[in-house]
Structure 1
């Protein structure tokens, strides 16, 4: 069996197992309250018809994505607009479920010889997608006119591996905290100066509950993505070999001092009855707890600023956003989340060209501004951000600027470029279940639990690496 066939077969087997654990999206959501990590109902639709006849023959391409609810409608609208101005391209956009379901569907379609031209794959599927050997680097198919220097460095750094840009960032996000300005004011806290540290969150939580304005101080989904962000802020890589970017990751650092700071604080918040645990991957539950004012603060993705602002208004309070709190206020930066666009290598040249045109068009400032305003995912182009500033958008909507300022303050280092590892979704599940073990076991010892979590995660790494090496 040749290497390409072996990799394809591996991805179908190992990919399905690896991504069964966690949707793995770093946020996102629709105004209906669900996030783009947990949309599971497939809904598709043709987003356009033939436009133009510059090509000798009309090219039909498919775009598979994981955006549900209002996000899916916005994607459909963007695709329709693209087709309306394109020459000889027909395009169908179909929502294939969650991120993990979209990746599984794509790899199955590649094997069947009928893949989409473009697939949206979540950021932690990057190593798995590369290992599959079935995708072509996006830099090989976009028009030569694309100026990569105009894209945000922190975003491009995640998807550029060994000097090659493998996929095009589309919906990029990072983690921030939302807070209820009215509850802050009622409790005697300054609504214009939210906390910036772990201790600050604890203190604010105590003040909010003592004032009786909320049931618990804060919540966020039990999701390893937040742990990964706090690793980066402390300058700690999650795995060895420069976060798996110099060579394949073989060790994980869940027993590090950085990890202990995170989990000791997180477990302590729960013990003090200040952290509302919504459950593993429970994005919607955490969101609803905050919007219904059961908590005064919420750790979430910047991808949901637009629907969160509307939700807060409907529930009678003003929304505030703050940078991710850190231990002691030390900041090195955050890791991006979200997803990027990949193109299978087996496509015809004509379909690759059409896919490249759409990908380039989608990341132009006009489209990026529209996407940003309708969601909270930040633009991936510097030009788009500059135009929004000139137009006064951020003065009117300062909550949208928090994540961008946080991203701009990020120092380029292995810790902030994000980890690469094949069994990332399985590792995330191990971390999340480890936290549940900490808070449910009365005799818990954070150090001991982290030792077990570290051991299980390294077993997953070893098992995966043996299959691909």
Structure 2
């Protein structure tokens, strides 16, 4: 992690090191998640692997099937740490559970919410964003008519506008329970309202209701500077939004389609993987730090300091008992959105091999639709075709491992 959240991670490790004298944790920044996952596999092959590595959710299948990891429940049991695994919030635990057990320790978990500029909405005679996409579009037209700006699109828009959109509206994204049921999963989002969502995004762009930040400009900076009416982004964006000067803002849950009952959103972020090939004494240190991470007190501190969600119900209850959400009500939105109802096969999460590659294919095709080069249906048909080819390569490479 880099920036402010990287500083918070370093602070957490200092807390652990100060709390006991048997072990010392040293965090090392190794670049982006994509750079890190490749470096981790290479390090394992040369026996220079670290004890713990922080890998994003899209790398789950690569790590799980790499042969380089010790499942976290196996490690903690071997080191005699008693963790209440059943207490982890379901959409968080479910994302990283394989064969009934957590494979890695949930760490910086997030989900997108809708931030909005209160001043722009008030100028248009509006209090807050509507609950449905259809009503939100009408509001954004009112904001624009009142002289206000459009919405700013996050750099990782696919996560919010396609993946979470599908989960919240309970639309299938792929066969085999979105990949949980086997490596032979196939994308199907070209046969769902994701196609209409791409069309909606193009319409909003054409009508000045949605904009991209532009090369070299952070989307969050556009919102925090007051130049955007709404911003759908990770709840971890709280740190940047709260630090903004003279910004009147608030937040609400993500919208859903008219006529649908909204389900839970899905997570992003990363987990901590324990790597094989270390002495038992080193594994004891790894387990000790992971037990510290799982403590409700540590979870709540991390939640408050970063905006990431608490991973366990006990931590959420502790934050409630401390009155945190009376002070910071918008930080509870993500937790409530994640725990809304019982997860379905469409809302538990996504489990695809080479997930990042399939996402880039999807984005390329969506952006061709935004630019008018392809109609939305053809763009999503092509995205699914390209994505399924990538899935088949991963399936062949990992046959029999899952």
TM-score by length of 2: 0.94
Residue by residue over 1:238-294, the C-alpha shift from the partner in whole angstroms, topping out at 9 and shown as x without a partner, is 2211111121143101312232232121222112221102369x8x62111212222
Q: Is 2:127 the partner of 1:190?
A: yes
Aligned to 1:319: 249
Aligned length: 394
Residue by residue over 1:8-45, the C-alpha shift from the partner in whole angstroms, topping out at 9 and shown as x without a partner, is xxxxxxxxxxxxxxxxxxxxxxxxxxxxxxxxxxxxxx
Secondary structure in 2 aligned to 1:242?
Answer: helix
Could you tell me whether the CA contact under 8 Å between 2:89 and 2:312 is conserved in 1? yes
Aligned to 1:263: 198
Q: How far 1:86 moved relative to its partner?
A: 2.3
- Residue in structure 2 matching 1:407, options 334, 338, 345: 338
Q: Is 2:284 the partner of 1:340?
A: no
Cα separation, 2, equivalents of 1:261 and 1:102: 35
Aligned to 2:173: 238
Aligned to 1:51: none
Cα separation, 2, equivalents of 1:246 and 1:288: 40
Q: Is 2:106 the partner of 1:169?
A: yes
Cα separation, 2, equivalents of 1:217 and 1:243: 30
Aligned to 2:35: 101
Which structure 1 segments of 5+ residues have no match? 1-66
Cα separation, 1, equivalents of 2:47 and 2:361: 34
- Residue in structure 2 matching 1:385, options 306, 311, 316: 316
Could you tell me whether the CA contact under 8 Å between 2:224 and 2:240 is conserved in 1? no
- Residue in structure 2 matching 1:431, options 349, 362, 371: 362
Aligned to 2:329: 398
Secondary structure in 2 aligned to 1:328?
Answer: coil
Aligned to 1:146: 83
1:451-466 equivalent positions in 2, closer than 5 A: 451-466=381-396
Aligned to 1:199: 134
Q: How far 1:90 moved relative to its partner?
A: 2.3
Residue by residue over 1:377-420, the C-alpha shift from the partner in whole angstroms, topping out at 9 and shown as x without a partner, is 01112122112212211011111111111111043222212111
Could you tell me whether the CA contact under 8 Å between 1:237 and 1:419 is conserved in 2? no
Q: Is 2:186 the partner of 1:251?
A: yes
Could you tell me whether the CA contact under 8 Å between 1:219 and 1:276 is conserved in 2? yes
* More RCO (CA 8 Å, sep 6+): 2
Q: Is 2:223 the partner of 1:290?
A: yes
What value does the CA root-mean-square deviation take over the aligned residues? 1.7
Could you tell me whether the CA contact under 8 Å between 1:198 and 1:265 is conserved in 2? no
1:28-39 equivalent positions in 2, closer than 5 A: none
Could you tell me whether the CA contact under 8 Å between 1:239 and 1:249 is conserved in 2? no
Q: How far 1:218 moved relative to its partner?
A: 4.3
TM-score by length of 1: 0.81
- Residue in structure 1 matching 2:207, options 248, 258, 272: 272
Q: Is 2:33 the partner of 1:120?
A: no
Cα separation, 2, equivalents of 1:92 and 1:107: 20
Could you tell me whether the CA contact under 8 Å between 1:371 and 1:377 is conserved in 2? yes
Could you tell me whether the CA contact under 8 Å between 1:369 and 1:384 is conserved in 2? yes
